[in-house]
Amino acid sequence: MKIAIGCDHAGLELKEQVKKHLQEMGCTVTDMGTYDSKSCHYPIYAQKVAMEVVSGRAGLGILVCGTGVGMSIAANKVKGIRAAVVSDCFTARAVRMHNDANVLCLGARVLGSGLACLIAQLFVETEFEGGRHQTRLDMIRDIEEGK
CB of 42 to ligand RB5, least distance (A): 5
Q: For 116, phi and psi rounded to 5 degrees?
A: -60, -40
Site map for ligand RB5, 67-106, x if CB under 6 A?
Answer: x-xx------------------------------------
Site mask, ligand RB5, residues 109-138, x = CB under 6 A? Answer: ------------------------------
# binding residues, ligand RB5 (CB under 6 A): 8
- Residue 27: which of 55, 56, 5, 50 has the closest Cα? 5
- Shortest distance in whole angstroms from residue 41 CB to ligand RB5: 9
Query: Is 8 near ligand RB5 (CB under 6 A)?
Result: yes
How are strands ordered across the β-sheet holding 2-7? Answer: 28-31, 2-7, 60-65, 103-107, 83-85
Helix (H) or strand (E) holding 141: helix 132-144
- Going by C-alpha positions, the residue among 74, 67, 63 that lies closest to residue 19 is 63
Residue 65 is among the residues annotated as catalytic for this protein? yes
What is d(CA 144, CA 107) in angstroms, rounded to the nearest whole number? 26
Q: Is 98 a catalytic residue?
A: yes
Which residues are at the interface with ligand RB5 (CB under 6 A)? 8, 10, 42, 65-67, 69-70
Which residues are catalytic, by number?
Answer: 65, 98
